[in-house]
Chains A and B, each alone.
Chain A
Amino acid sequence: MTTLIEAPPSDADGLLPSKKKSSGGGLGTYLLIRFLLIIPTIFILVTMVFFLMRVIGDPITAAQGGRLPPEALAQRIRDAGYDRPIIVQYLEYLGQVATGNFGTTITDRRPVVEMLATFGAATLELAINALIVALLVGIPLGLIAAYKRDKAPDAVLRFFAILCYATPVFFAGLLMKLTFSVWLGWFPVAGRASTRTELAMGGLASPTGIYWLDALRSGNMAAFGDIASHSVLPAVTLGLLTAGVFLRLVRTNVIGTLGKDYVEAGRSRGVSNFRLVTKHAYKPALIPIITVMGLQIALLLGGAVLTESTFEWKGLGYQMVQYLNARDFVAVQGIVVLLAVIVAITNFIVDVAAALIDPRVRY
C-alpha cells in the first residue's frame, strides 16, 4: 500500500512539463512564457478542428448536397474556393483566423463573427449566472463540511457534491422543469425571456447582449423581473454542477490549512472555531481554490451546451446544435474555435493570478 503514496506528487510534476524549463526566471519571464504557450494550444486545436471537419468533405456539399443541382453545387464550391488543395485552404484559413475573420455561415449566410457575438453574449450571461450560484452554494457548504469534518453534516455534504457530479445537467434541468415550472408553476419552462422582453431588448441602442445588464441600464424593471425569472432554473442547473466541485475544493483546502501551526496558535489563544475556519484557514486556502476554479471554465462551457439545449437558451451551445443538425460546419468550426480561445485565455489568466498572489508559483 505504501508504494501508492508517491503517485500524486509525481503526477503533479509531470503535469506541467513544458513550463519547467523556465525555472529560476523572474515573474516577467514566467508571464511571457506562459503567454506564448497559449499560441501552440490554440494553433493545435484550430488545426485539429479544421482537418477533422474536412475529413467529411467540403462544407457546401455537407450542408446543401442533394438540395442543389450538381452544376450549381460545383459552381458554389468553386466560388468559395473549396476545390483547391486542402493545404492551401488550411493556410488561408489560418490567415483569416489570425485577422479575426471566421467566414460566413452556409445556412443563414451570416458573418460568423457577428453570430458569435450575438450568441456568445447569451452564453456569457448563463455562465455568469451559473458561476454566481456555484459560488453562493459551494463556498459556504465547503466551509461547513470542513468545520464539521467527519461528522454527519460533512458526510451529507460530500454525498451532495458527488450527486451534483453524477447528475447530468440535462437530467437536473428536466427535474427542475418538472418540479418548479410544470407542477409548482413558479418559473417559465424555457427561453431567456418572454417575447415582449426579447423585442424590448432587441430595440435598445448599443446593447451589451447580456439581458439583465441591458434591462438595468435602460431602467426597465418589468423586463428585469421577467429576465430574472427565466434565468433562475438554467443558472441553478448549471451552477449546481460546478458547486459540487467548489464544495470539495473548499473543504479539502480548508482542512489542509486548518492543520497549520498558525491555526493551532490561534486556537491556543482562544480564537473561536468559527473564526478560525472563516478567517484564519479560509483565506490562505483561497489560492488553490482560485486556480482550480479557473480550470472549471471548460466544465462550465461543456455544461452550458447541454443546459442551453435543455432550456432552449439561445446561446452558443444551443446554436451549435442547430448548426450541427443543419450540417453547417463553417459555423460549427467558428464556435468551437471561439470556445478553444476562451478556455486557453482563461487558463492563462488563472496562472497569472496564481503567480501574482503566491510568489512561490513559478514553474
Chain B
Amino acid sequence: MTATTESGRKQPFIYRLPVISHFRTSVGLQRGMLVTGLVLTVVFLLTAAFAPVIAPYGFAQLSDASGTFPAQQPPSAAHIWGTTVGGYDVYSRVLWGAQTAFVVIVVAVVMSIFLGVALGLLSGYFGGWLDRVLVVIADAIYAFPSLLLAIVMSIVINRGQSSFWGGIVACSVSISVVFVPQYFRVIRAETIRLKAEPYVESAKVVGASSIRIMGRHIFKNATRTLPLIFTLNASEAILTLAGLGFLGFGIEPTSAAEWGFDLNKAIADASSGIWWTGVYPGTAIVLTVLGLTLVGESMNDLNDPRLRGRRKSVGKTPAGGPDSTAGAQAALEAESRVL
C-alpha cells in the first residue's frame, strides 16, 4: 500500500489533484458524465459568484422606478421568468438562490468535515469506550431519516431567527448534524486500518506523540476519499436545504432567496395553473444537484477499478468464495452511499 502511494507521488502535482486526475483516467461515457457534471457545477458556481451583477433586481425587491411589481405575472419583458405571489421577480430570486445554496453548502460541509474528521481520528485511534459510544451514536443518527433530524435541529436553533447569517447558520448546523456521522464512519474505518500500518508503528517506536501521529501520519492518508464524499454531500446538502425551506424551516424570503421556500409558495400556484413560480427554482435545484452528483458519481466510478475500464473487467470478477462476496458488498456499499 505505502509503496504504491510513494510511487504515485512522482507525477506532477497538478495531475494528482482530485478532479484533474479523474479526468485523465476517464474514457467515453464516463468522461461525458464527468464533463457534463463539471459544466453544470461551474455554471452554478459562476451564478453564485456573480448573482449581484447578473440579477436585474434584488432578491427581496418589490418595486422599481416604474412602480410596484405586479403579483403572479406571467413571464414578460420586464420580468423574464414572471413574478411570484408575493410580487418578487422569479429570475432574480433563482439567481440569488444559487448564492444562498453555495454559502450553506460550504458552511455545512466544512463544519461537518471538521467535526467528523476530528471525531473519527480520535475514535479510531484511541478505541475503547469513547469509540464504542461514538459509534453507537453515529449509527443511531445515520439510520434516522435525515430530513427529520434536520427539522428537529432547525427548530432548536432557529426560534424565529430571520437574519441572513442566522438563517444560514441554522440551516448549516441542521444539515451538518446529518453529515457528521458519515465523515466519522469513513475516517474512523480508515484510521483503524492505518493504525496497523508499519509506518505508524515505527513512528510510535521513535516516540512521536499521539497528536503528531494522528495529525501527520494518519490524517493525510485517511482523507483521500474526502473529495468524493464532499461532492456527494454537497448535492445532499442542497436537497436538505430545499426540503427544510419547502417545509417552512428555512430562511425568511426577505433575508435571502431560497429555492425550497419559493417552491413551497409555488405549490398553491400550481393548482391554478401558474407554472413559472415553481418550474424555474425547481429546475435550478435539479441542475445543481445533477451537476454535483455527476461529478461525484464519475469520481466514484473512476476510483473503483471494478467500475472503471469497463469492457475489459467483465468476467474478471473473482469466482465464488467469501472474497467475491466481500467485493460485491463493498461495491454495493459504495453504490448505496452515493444515494
Contact = CB atoms under 8 A, between A and B. Distances in A.
B305 A5 contact: yes
Contact of A41 (B4, B143, B224, B326): B143
Given A17-B135, A249-B332, A306-B147, A244 B339 contact: yes
A167 B283 CA distance: 8
A7 B224 contact: yes
Interface string B133-161: 00111011101111110011101100100
A260 interface: yes
B19 to A, nearest CB: 14
Contacts of B247: 305-306, 309, 321, 324
A173 B263 CA distance: 11
Interface string B292-317: 01100100000111000011001111
Nearest to B6: A3
Interface stretch (A88-96, A174-182, A209-217): A174-182
A84 interface: no
A168 B326 CA distance: 33
A177 B272 CA distance: 10
A325 interface: yes
A55 B335 CA distance: 38
Interface string A1-43: 1111111111111110110000000000000000000001100
B334 interface: yes
A166 B335 contact: no
Contacts of A360: 322, 325
A310 interface: yes
Interface stretch (A105-113, A218-226, A251-259): A251-259
B204 interface: no
B273 A182 contact: yes
Interface size class of chain A, counting residues whose CB lies under 8 Å from the partner chain: 35 or more
A245 B225 contact: no
B101 interface: no
Interface string B1-14: 10011001000000
Contacts of B132: 18
Given A15-B185, A41-B143, A190 B271 contact: yes
Nearest to B300: A8
Interface stretch (B47-55, B102-110, B235-243): B235-243
Given A8-B333, A166-B293, A178 B278 contact: yes
Contacts of A168: 239, 242-243, 246, 260, 263, 282, 285-286
Given A12-B329, A168-B239, A174-B270, A52 B153 contact: yes
A356 interface: no
Interface string A293-304: 001001101100
A343 B144 contact: yes
Given A7-B303, A168-B282, A177-B270, A14 B189 contact: yes
A52 B152 contact: yes
B136 A170 contact: no
A354 to B, nearest CB: 11
B148 A302 contact: yes
Contacts of A288: 328-329, 332
Contacts of A171: 263, 278, 282, 285-286
Interface string A320-332: 1100110001001
A192 interface: no
Given A162-B297, A170-B267, A245 B339 contact: yes
Contact of A49 (B152, B192, B304, B332): B152
Contacts of A45: 140-141, 144
B289 interface: yes
Highest count of chain B CB atoms <10 Å: which of A3, A175, A244: A3
Chain B contact patch, size range: 35 or more
A165 B338 CA distance: 10
A163 B330 CA distance: 24
Given A155-B29, A178-B270, A310-B267, A259 B243 contact: no
Contacts of A115: none
B202 interface: no
A18 B333 contact: no
Interface string B115-139: 0000000000000000010011101
A288 B333 CA distance: 10
Contact of B4 (A2, A174, A190): A2
A9 B326 contact: yes
A259 B246 contact: no
A56 to B, nearest CB: 6
Contacts of B293: 162, 165-166
Given A178-B270, A339-B144, 6 more contacts: A9-B330, A55-B156, A168-B285, A258-B314, A302-B147, A320-B151
27 contacts: A5-B303, A11-B185, A14-B189, A41-B136, A52-B152, A52-B156, A53-B156, A163-B290, A165-B339, A168-B242, A170-B246, A171-B282, A173-B267, A174-B278, A174-B282, A177-B270, A183-B273, A249-B335, A259-B315, A260-B317, A261-B320, A305-B147, A306-B247, A324-B151, A324-B155, A332-B155, A360-B325
